[in-house]
Amino acid sequence: MTEIQPLVEMRGVHKNYGTLQVLSGIDLEMRPGDRLVVIGPSGGGKSTLLRIMMGLEDIRRGEIDLLGKRYITGHEQSGKTRIDSTLRKQVGMVFQHYTLFPHLTIISNLTLAAIKTRGMSKPAALDKGMQLLKRLGLESKAQSYPSQLSGGQKQRVAIARALMLDPRLMLFDEVTSALDPELVAEVEAVMLELAEQQMPMMLVTHDMWFAKNIASRVIFCAGGVVVEDGPPEQVLGDPVNPRTREFIERVFHIKT
């Protein structure tokens, strides 16, 4: 199936914070429609991987292609990272903490970037924003401010805000870990709906049940490299690598 152009291609991505090596050579390929869940011990570079993909971090070495075009290049000699900001607009991201703009209403949170960075007209943006809110059952909150919403509602609005911009790839960085347990399901439901619509996504989560449900592929990251890569049944159910096995056993032990 080599004729299908990969959505993302990472080659030899290295990242360090000062002397701390976080990623030491990540090679990764994502095909359109892939829902890639990244699991692994904390400090293993999961979130860093997503942040790099969003163009939020410099990389020391390596290159990333998106949609067949060069997206990010790390130049080791000059210490500079080149990021194509046009391609970056094809990527959307939702963060762990609610990052809605507190001074704007919900509907303005949705429309601002669409109008200012994508050149959408105001009526069109409002229309699209209201449609998205309707889909999420949040249309009554359009004129509310983020502080008047629950954590789960805020996180759903944050997802809608990213979807406003028609991303070709969505990144979810532990989007439910700051939520009260009873609010997690409503956010996960939105993500599962997106999965059904074949939205390509890359997500970091600690919720193994959710990972199993949403993933088309799971990678286990530890020590700055991809240790294991495969379908969820294999990586979560019957991992090959002893490090993955140990991690999975420990995580599922706590759960039962």
What minimum distance in Å lies between the beta carbon of 95 and other proteins?
Answer: 5
By CB under 8 A, is residue 54 in contact with other proteins?
yes
State the nearest-atom distance from the C-beta of 252 to other proteins, in Å: 30
Token pair in block for residue 154? 């805020």
Among 31, 51, 75, 243, binds other proteins (CB under 8 A): 51
- Asked if residue 250 binds other proteins (CB under 8 A), the reply is no
- Closest CB to other proteins among 117 and 131? 117
Q: Does 165 bind other proteins (CB under 8 A)?
A: yes
How far the first Cα of the chain sits from its last, in Å, is 40
Determine, following the binding rule CB under 8 A, whether residue 85 of this chain makes contact with other proteins. yes
What does the alpha-carbon distance between residue 169 and residue 167 come to, in Å, rounded to a whole number? 5
Residue 120 lies near other proteins (rule: CB under 8 A): no
Tokens describing residue 204: 């970091």
Site for other proteins, residues 179 to 198, rule: CB under 8 A: none
Q: Which stretch binds other proteins (CB under 8 A): 30-38, 82-90, 149-157, 240-248?
A: 82-90
Give the C-alpha distances (Å, rounded to integers) separating 248 from 88, 114, 157, 174, 213. Answer: 33, 41, 32, 18, 16
Task: Please give the Cα distance from 168 to 87 (Å, whole number).
Answer: 10
Task: Residue 123: count other Cβ atoms within 10 Å of its Cβ.
Answer: 9
Residue 103 interacts with other proteins (CB under 8 A): yes or no: yes
User: Which residues are CB-neighbours of 178 under 8 A, at least 6 positions away?
Assistant: 96, 97, 98, 151
CB of 103 to other proteins, least distance (A): 5
Among 88, 212, 243, 245, binds other proteins (CB under 8 A): 88
Instruction: Give the integer Cα–Cα distance in Å for 153 and 163.
Output: 15
Query: Which 3-state string (H, E, C) describes 33-76?
Result: CCEEEEECCCCCCHHHHHHHHCCCCCCCEEEEEECCEEEEEEEC
Q: Is 178 in the site for other proteins (CB under 8 A)?
A: no
Nearer to other proteins, 12 or 145 (CB): 145
Contacting positions for other proteins (CB under 8 A) = 51, 54-56, 85, 88-89, 91-93, 95-97, 99, 101-103, 112-113, 116-118, 147, 161-162, 165
